[in-house]
Amino acid sequence: MYGSAMARGLLVTLKNLVRKPFTIQYPEQRLKQHPRFRGEEFVWYEERCTGCASCAKYCPLGIIKIVTSPSETAPKEGDKYLLEVFDIDLQRCMFCGLCVEACPYDALFMGSGFEEGQYSRENMVITIDQLRQSDKHPSTWYRPQLEAAGYMPNSGRPLGWREVGRESWRWHQGEKAGMRLAQAEGSSPVKDSEAGSLGSQPEPADRASADGRSEDPA
């Protein structure tokens, strides 16, 4: 180790001294994140959410708190619960994405931002108003429909609730995942022009294979 090896080590370091550094000057420059990046925020589509609290049940840390008010009519198939409290505690969240995996209605997505630091502990809990108002750039984590559509959370436009679900794969003919749409909203399934704005519509063969892929265990 001594002798010439010492000198060679010193020369290696010296060569690195004169090379250009790789540093990115955050916050003026930022690295581009992968579309599947699980950020520190959540994208929630209230229109799709039924209040089933599967996300709260799946969360390994138990940080999601969902309080629904009892429905005034007898619950019918397709009715939604009225959500009063939907809290996600960012202090404990490990951003594993299990809640996103759990949601049967594609209502909850991981966000793509990572600058959620706050100055007090109270601000570290995401409340339902924050979830409603946050800008909707969902990450494509566990949402192969977004990936197949080629959506880029960094550079794409905010997505509405009709565009982010799996209905474009036509699992259920004429029925959204768990949502009973009134006929007035439009009888055609979502594979119309709205979905096309996301990107190119996948071919039937791709859609079939996409179906097959989605049935794999996550």
13 binds another protein (CB under 8 A): yes
29 binds another protein (CB under 8 A): no
Which of the ranges 18-26, 101-109, 113-121, 164-172 carries the binding residues for another protein, by CB under 8 A? 18-26
Task: Report whether 216 contacts 142 (CB < 8 A).
Answer: no
21 binds another protein (CB under 8 A): yes
119 binds another protein (CB under 8 A): no
31 binds another protein (CB under 8 A): no
19 binds another protein (CB under 8 A): yes
Between CA 70 and CA 106 the distance in angstroms is 23
**Count of residues near another protein by CB under 8 A:** 17
Count the neighbouring beta carbons within 10 Å of the beta carbon of residue 125.
17
218 binds another protein (CB under 8 A): no
Between CA 195 and CA 165 the distance in angstroms is 10
14 binds another protein (CB under 8 A): yes
Q: What is the closest distance, in whole angstroms, from the C-beta atom of residue 36 to another protein in the complex?
A: 27
Q: What is the closest distance, in whole angstroms, from the C-beta atom of residue 1 to another protein in the complex?
A: 6
Task: Report whether 48 contacts 179 (CB < 8 A).
Answer: yes
Considering only residues 166 through 205, tell me which ones interact with another protein, judged by CB under 8 A. Answer: none
Task: Report whether 118 contacts 106 (CB < 8 A).
Answer: no
Which of the ranges 10-18, 69-77, 137-145, 185-193 carries the binding residues for another protein, by CB under 8 A? 10-18
Return the closest-CA partner of residue 178 out of 70, 102, 82, 77.
Answer: 77
74 binds another protein (CB under 8 A): no
Q: What is the closest distance, in whole angstroms, from the C-beta atom of residue 5 to another protein in the complex?
A: 8
Point out which residues pair with 68 in neighbouring strands.
Answer: 83
Binds another protein (CB under 8 A): choice among 23, 29, 133, 183:
23
Dihedral of the alpha carbons of 51, 55, 58, 60, in degrees to the nearest 10: -130
Q: What is the closest distance, in whole angstroms, from the C-beta atom of residue 113 to another protein in the complex?
A: 22
What tokens were used for 139? 């990450």
Residue 23, burial from CB neighbour count under 10 angstroms (0-12, 13-18, 19+) = exposed
Write out the residues near another protein by the rule CB under 8 A. Answer: 1-6, 9-10, 12-14, 16-17, 19, 21-23
